[in-house]
Amino acid sequence: MTTALEALEHYDPEIYELIRQEKARQSGAIRLIPSENYVSRAVMAATGSVLTNKYAEGYPHKRYYEGQEVTDLIEDLARERAKKVFKADHANVQPYSGSVANLGAYLGLAQPGDTICGLLLTDGGHLTHGWKMSFTSKTFNSIQYRLDPKTGRFDMDHIRETAKEVKPKIIISGATAYPREIDFKAFGEIAKEVGAYHVSDIAHIAGLVVGGVHQSPVPFADVVSTTTHKTLRGPRGGLLLCKEEHAKNVDRAVFPGLQGGPHMHTITAIAVALAEADTPEFGNYAQQIVKNARAMAEKLLELGFELVSGGTDNHLILIDLRNKDIPGRKLAKALNKARIVSNCNTIPDDPAPPFNPSGLRIGTPSITTRGMKEEQAKQVAEFINKVVENVDNEDMLEKIGQEVLMLCSHFPVPDHFIVPENQK
Ligand code: DSN
C-alpha cells in the first residue's frame, strides 16, 4: 500500500517537491519565531485524515447534516479534553483561528459599537485586540492601552485609569510580544471594578498555562481565547473557554454568527494535541521552554544586548537593537541567511515604523521540541551575536549557517509521539 506522501509524489510531484523543500528548511534551521512549533506525527496524521471530508454545521448532537456518528464523538472528546487541561466550565473547539476566536469572544459578550480595550499592537498586542486596521476596531469602539515604555511591562495603574475613563464593555488581557508573566488576576479585578467583561487571549502561552509554568486566566476571565498551534503544539486552529453562563452566547457567536462548517480534521488534531498536553512529559516540555528562554536571555545580556523588560519569564525574548545600530528587518534577514529564523518586531514606544522596527522577537518553543537545553540555548545566543558582528559579510553568514546546520543535525526534528500512560 502506498503512503499518503507517496501518492502525493505520484499525482502532484511539483507540490510534493515543495513540501520536501519546506521540511528540509524546517529541519535545517533554528526556528526562533515564538509562535511556531513542530507538531507530533499523531497530530499531523489527524490533520491529514478523512475528517477533512466531512461537513458538520452545528454542535455535537445538534447538527444540520446527517452522518455525524463519528464527528460528534470526536468534537465531544476535543471539548472534554480542553475543559480538563484548562480546568474550564465550557470549551468551543470550532474557531478556525485565533482571530476568529477573539471575534467570537467579543461578539459573545458585547454588541458591535461597544467599547473594547486592549494592548496597542506596536506595544505587543495583537491585531484583533483593537488595532486601527483590524475589523475589531471597525466593529467595536477600540481604545487601546500602552505598556510602560520605561519598564516594558504592563502598568496596571494606567490600565485601571484608562478603564475607569472609557468604561469598556470588554477589557482584553494578553499579548503577542510580551516576555513577562501576565497578572490575569489583576486584569480580572480591574474588569470587575469598572463593570467590564474580561477576555484573555493566551494564544502565545497556552502551552505554558497547561504545563503549569504560567498563571492561568481561567479563574479570572469571562472568556479565554487561544490558538492551538503555538506553545500548545497542536494544529493551526482556535479555541474558546468560558464560564457556563457565557457558553450559549459564545457558541452562538462562533456558529452561526461567524462561521459555517467547522474544520473537523483540525478539531480531530486539536483533540490529539490536548491528549499530548495532558501528560507529565508536556509539563516538562513547558518548563524547559522557560529554562531555555532564560538561559538564552542571560547569554544575550552578557553579550551586550538590551532586552525589553530586562529579560524573560516565558517563551519569548524581545531584543531592543538600538544600541547595536541595526534595524530589526536587516538583522532578521541576515539571521535567516545563517539559518536562524526569527521576526523583526516593534519594541514598546518604538521610534521606528512597524515595517522596519527596532526590535527582534525570538522564542524557544521549537528548539525545545527538538530537545535543545540551556547549553544549546546559549549557543544560539552566541550565533545571533556572531551574525550581528558580521551582518554585511555574506561569506561569514554562510559559515555561521554551516555551524547552525551542524547543531541542527545533533537535534533532529523528533517524530515525538507521546502516548499518555492511561491510553497505553
Ligand atoms: N502571528 C502570530 C504571532 O506570530 O504572534 C499572532 O497571531
- Are 254 and 398 in the same domain? no
Q: Give the pLDDT of residue 420.
A: 42
CATH code, 373: 3.90.1150.10
Mutate to test the pocket of ligand 1, among 31, 35, 37, 228 (most ligand atoms within 8 A of CB): 35
Q: Is the pLDDT of residue 5 over 90?
A: no
pLDDT value of position 266: 98
Mean pLDDT computed over every residue of the chain: 96
Tens-digit pLDDT profile for residues 91-138: 999 999 999 999 999 999 999 999 999 999 999 999 999 999 999 999
75 close to 251: Cβ distance less than 8 angstroms: no
The protein residue with its alpha carbon nearest to ligand 1, atom 1, reads 35
Q: Which residue among 230, 233, 294, 339 is the active-site one?
A: 230
Please give the pLDDT value at position 264.
98
> Pick from 311, 326, 334: which is nearest to 398 by CA?
334
Residue nearest to atom 3 of ligand 1 (CA): 35
Q: How close is the Cα of 267 to the center of ligand 1, in Å? A: 20
User: Both 184 and 127 in a single domain?
Assistant: yes
* Per-residue model confidence (pLDDT) at position 416: 55
**What crossing angle do the helices spanning 264-277 and 69-86 adopt, rounded to 10°?**
40
CA of 408: how far to CAs of 25, 282, 339, in Å? 11, 22, 10
| pLDDT score of 424 | 39
CA 71, 73, 74, 80 dihedral sign is: positive
According to DSSP, residue 122 is labeled G
Q: Is residue 215 classed exposed, middle or buried when 0-12, 13-18 and 19+ CB atoms within 10 A define those classes?
A: middle
Q: What is the mean pLDDT of residues 368-373?
A: 97
Distance CA(143)–CA(168), nearest Å, equals 8
CA distance 241 to 38: 24
Quick one: pLDDT at residue 192?
98
The pLDDT tens digits for 170-225 are 999 999 999 999 999 999 999 999 999 999 999 999 999 999 999 999 999 999 99
CA atoms of 363 and 36, how far apart (whole Å): 9
- Alpha carbons 111 and 118: distance in angstroms, whole number: 16
**Residue where one domain finishes, among candidates 277, 302, 323:** 277
- pLDDT, one tens digit per residue, over 42-62 is 999 999 999 999 999 999 999
Q: In angstroms, what is the span from residue 226 Cα to ligand 1's centroid?
A: 11
- Asked whether residue 4 is domain-assigned, the answer is no
Clarify whether residues 246 and 326 are in a common domain.
no
199 in a structural domain: yes
273/294 same-domain check? no
- Cβ-proximal residues to 414 (8 Å cutoff; 6+ apart), any chain: 38, 369, 370, 371
- Return the ∠ at Cα 339 (arms to 335 and 342), rounded to 5°: 50
- Structural domain contains residue 161: yes
Give me 423's grid cell.
491510553
Residue 353 backbone dihedrals phi, psi, to 5 degrees? -75, 155
- Closest CA to ligand 1's atom 2: 35
**C-alpha cell, 205:** 502561552
Among the candidates 223, 253, 277, a domain finishes at: 277
Whether 57 sits among the annotated catalytic residues: the reply is yes
Q: Could you give the CA distance from residue 282 to residue 207 in angstroms, rounded to a whole number? A: 8
* Cα 176 to averaged position of ligand 1 atoms, centre (Å): 6
Pocket of ligand 1 (CB under 6 A): 35, 98, 126, 176
Residue from 126, 239, 317, 342 to probe ligand 1 pocket by mutation (most atoms less than 8 Å from CB): 126
183 and 257 in a single domain? The answer is: yes
Output the pLDDT for position 367.
98
Write down the pLDDT at residue 422.
44
pLDDT tens digit sequence for 354-368: 899 999 999 999 999
Distance 202 CA to ligand 1 centre (A): 11
Assess whether 222 and 73 both reside in one domain: yes
Compute φ and ψ for 297, nearest 5 degrees. Answer: -65, -45
Confidence of residue 245 (pLDDT cuts 50, 70, 90): very high
Q: Is 176 a catalytic residue?
A: no
Is 6 a member of any domain? Answer: no
What confidence category does residue 409 fall into, taking pLDDT thresholds of 50, 70 and 90?
very high
- Active site (annotated) includes residue 16: no
For residues 329 and 345, give the distance between their C-alpha atoms in angstroms, rounded to a whole number. Answer: 8
Q: CATH number of the domain at 184, please.
A: 3.40.640.10
Q: How many domains does the chain have?
A: 2
Same domain, 74 and 168: yes
Q: What pLDDT does 1 receive?
A: 66
Does a structural domain hold residue 178?
Answer: yes
**Catalytic status, residue 364:** no
Looking at the fold, whether 230 and 378 belong to one and the same domain comes out as no
pTM, two decimal places: 0.96
**CA angle 89–95–100, rounded 5-degree value:** 115
Domain shared by 306 and 260, yes or no: no
Domain that holds residue 333: 290-410
- 223 and 339, same domain (yes or no): no
Q: Is 21 inside a domain boundary?
A: no
68 and 98 both lie in a single domain: yes
Is 60 exceeded by the pLDDT of residue 423?
A: no
Domain edge (last residue) among 237, 254, 277: 277
CB atoms within 10 A of CB 371: 15
Would you say residue 230 lies in a domain? yes
The average pLDDT across 10-15 equals: 96
Is the model's pLDDT at 267 over the cut of 50? yes
- Contact call for residues 344 and 329 (beta carbons, < 8 A): yes
